[in-house]
Amino acid sequence: MGLPAVVVTHGAVRLFPSADHPAGARPEERPVGRYVARRLLLTIPVLIGASFLIFAMVYALPGDPIRALAGDRPLPASVQAALTAEFNLDDPLLVQYAKYVGGLLQGDFGTDFRGRPVLDTISQRLPVTVTLTAVAIFFEILIGITAGVLAGLRRGSFFDNLVLVSTTLVVSIPVLVLGFVSQYVLGVRLGWFPVAGITQGLYSYLLPGFILAATSLAYVTRLTRTSLADSLRADYVRTARAKGLAPRTVVVRHTLRNSLIPVVTFIGADIGGLLGGAIITEAVFNIPGLGRAVFDAVSQQEGAVVVGIITLMVFFFIFFNLVVDVLYAVLDPRIRYE
């Protein structure tokens, strides 16, 4: 997408210039603010491009959405003509898109065919998706990092092998299967979790959140394990031991910190992806999130809804990638912005 990447070089930029080391003392220093501003500006063309592509795809869908709306009963010709005119459906693609963007610039995200503002749909669905994502990320961090650290510290142990086998298993089962099986066993048969819906508050998010996290959870575990095992062999860990540091300090300060850098990167990018909604998980557990909304909107050819939500998802994705890049430089001083 032509976005500038964070580049590893020697001679890093300091994020927080200290008092006795004023900014500008080193010629290569560049403030992080400028980097972030530039990256944010670059998201504008990306968002325009993405929204146009989506708009074009919805336009290209076969069939007349107004007629579909009415079902079997044919609409009076006058009503159909009025609706078609209201939603600009007879205009050429570029004109439709221009009118849509024109509305956006006035803060109007458009409405669906029932007259409900798209912004309302988003503000209703977004909290659900954010909650589901938060639960999923919580599992990734809690279980993924813990299991990865334990496996990495005791390579070749029974636990390590258990982790290897179970993560392979999880990665190879499709989410759809995992979702239905867990819903049937844990929800229907054992009754430990609600079968579907979000009527029981946060509790009803636990099982869907876990299923949504499952694949990433496996990756986080494996990534943590490998990264930790690599760090443990590093020369600087040997130095830390030779310094007479307590074993705990050697592991926590001189091994974990270094080995979690790639894990943090992965999880950060995953947040952006998960916020894009989980169509399968939301469908299986009947959760009214953004993923569900997009699915319904596509099947009803609700152009404004599809474009509005997907553009938001693209923004989340870009934004969290930016957060990861900035965070990366905080964690690893060898990184500098370019």
Partner 1 sequence: MTPSTSGAHPAGTPADSGTTSRTDAAARATATPDTGVPVLEVEDLRVEFRTRGPVVNAVNGVSYSIAPGETMAILGESGCGKSVSAQAIMGILDTPPAVISGAIRFEGRDMLAMGAEDQRKIRGPGVSMIFQDALSALNPVYSVGYQIGEMFRAHRGTSKKEARERAVELMDRVRIPAARQRVDDYPHQFSGGMRQRVMIAMALALDPKVLIADEPTTALDVTVQAQVMDLLKDLQRDTGMGLILITHDLGVVNEVADRVSVMYAGKVVETGTTDDVFTRPAHPYTRGLMSSIPLLEDKGHRLNPIVGAPPSLAAIPPGCSFHLRCPMARRGADGRPDCAADVPPLREVVVGRRSACHYSEELLHG
Contact footprint for partner 1 (CB under 8 A): 10-12, 18, 20-21, 25, 234-236, 238-246, 249, 253-254, 257-258, 261, 331-334
**Residue 270, both tokens:** 């995953």
Handedness of CA 53, 59, 63, 66 (dihedral sign): positive
Nearer to partner 1, 96 or 227 (CB): 227
CB of 18 to partner 1, least distance (A): 6
**Residue 143, both tokens:** 């279980």
CB of 182 to partner 1, least distance (A): 39
**Residue 163, both tokens:** 């982790």
The angle at the Cα of 156, spanning 150 to 158, to the nearest 5 degrees, equals 70
Nearer to partner 1, 19 or 105 (CB): 19
Nearer to partner 1, 10 or 73 (CB): 10
Q: Please list the residues that pair with 111 across neighbouring strands.
A: 117
Residue 235: Cβ within 10 Å count: 7
**Residue 272, both tokens:** 């952006």
Nearer to partner 1, 122 or 234 (CB): 234
**Residue 252, both tokens:** 């926590």
CB of 334 to partner 1, least distance (A): 5
CB of 243 to partner 1, least distance (A): 6
**Token pair 């830390």 is at which residue?**
240
Whole-number Cα distances in Å, 202 to 124, 134, 199, 205, 274 = 16, 11, 9, 5, 17
Say how far apart CA 124 and CA 82 lie, in whole Å.
29
**Residue 125, both tokens:** 């669905």
Nearer to partner 1, 116 or 243 (CB): 243
CB of 257 to partner 1, least distance (A): 6
Nearer to partner 1, 187 or 262 (CB): 262
Q: How far is CA 69 from the centre of its chain?
A: 32
CB of 240 to partner 1, least distance (A): 7
CB of 148 to partner 1, least distance (A): 19
Query: Which DSSP state fits 106?
Result: T
Question: Which run of H or of E encompasses 151?
Answer: helix 146-153
Nearer to partner 1, 31 or 187 (CB): 31
Nearer to partner 1, 65 or 262 (CB): 262
CB of 266 to partner 1, least distance (A): 18
Whole-number Cα distances in Å, 307 to 49, 55, 59, 97 = 11, 6, 11, 10
**Residue 320, both tokens:** 């969290």
